[in-house]
Amino acid sequence: MSRAVVCDTAAEAVSGVADGATVLVGGFGLAGLPTVLIDALIAQGARDLTIVSNNAGTAETGLAALLAAGRVRKVICSFPRQSDSYVFDGLYRAGQVALELVPQGNLAERIRAAGAGIGAFYCPTGVGTLLTEGKEIRTINGRDYALEYPIHGDVALIRAHVGDRAGNLVYRKTARNFGPVMATAATLTIAEVSRVVDIGQLDPEAIVTPGIYVNRILETRT
């Protein structure tokens, strides 16, 4: 059985993330957000990043801190604005970060398609709005669909509840959100977990992300 690399430090976990990388970041608000890995990425120094996540950061921590550090060139997300997304708001209005707005279901499916090896797919969401302007539209069984392409990541930063030394992951409630599909869609998947256990200690029926998709794992005890 292949084993993920169990990293001793967060710095080791994010080492090698290159400038210009597309980084898939799990989380739905704060649920499932890999904050330790994001902080380590800030310290690591990679810049000109494209961040793919459900939202564009809250307050001044997590993704917002990465944005405030000037490391992000573009954000691909579903919900860029909320009551405390002022970091992104300011950068976007100043023209310092680009935005690609993607409906939430489309975002999840485009990431899933990348992991499943699907070249493209047709979806009705957004047809007739600015979100599908310039996209190929096809009528299927009397309904219009827009052609959507997968979102591949160079790196995925995700948070799970418990992982084993083979990289198998289980999640806790809504913290499951985008992590499973992101793990399949990236060249390098890094998982932050509360606890690392020995192989065989996880119930196979409870494993959501098989270790074959996970390259590095970091225990945070949080």
pLDDT digits (tens, 9 = 90+) for 2-51: 578 999 999 999 999 999 999 999 998 888 999 999 999 999 999 999 99
| 166 vs 1: CA distance, rounded Å | 7
To the nearest whole number, what is the mean pLDDT of the chain?
A: 94
**Amino acid at the residue 134:** G
CA 151 vs. chain centroid, Å, equals 10
With tokens 């080791």, the residue in question is 12
3-state secondary structure of 5: strand
Q: Are 10 and 219 in contact (CB under 8 A)?
A: no
**Six-digit token string for 107:** 């975002």
Domain residue ranges in the chain: 5-219
pLDDT at residue 1 greater than cutoff 70 = no
Give the pTM. Answer: 0.93
Query: In sequence order, what DSSP letters do the residues of 69-103 get, joined into one string?
Result: TT-EEEEEESB---TT-HHHHHHHHTTSSEEEE--
CATH of 5-219, one of 3.40.1080.10, 3.40.50.300, 3.30.70.20, 3.30.70.920: 3.40.1080.10
With tokens 């976007």, the residue in question is 92
Instruction: List the single range of 76-80, 150-154, 184-188 with lowest mean pLDDT.
Output: 76-80
**Strands, DSSP E only, in 109-152?**
121-123, 137-140, 143-148
| 190 vs 11: CA distance, rounded Å | 12
Instruction: Note the pLDDT tens digit of each residue in 6-20.
Output: 999 999 999 999 999
Instruction: Note the pLDDT tens digit of each residue in 122-181.
Output: 999 999 999 999 999 999 999 999 999 999 999 999 999 999 999 999 999 999 999 999
Strand pairing report for 22-25 and 169-170 = unpaired
| 34 vs 190: CA distance, rounded Å | 10
The pLDDT value recorded for residue 2 is 59
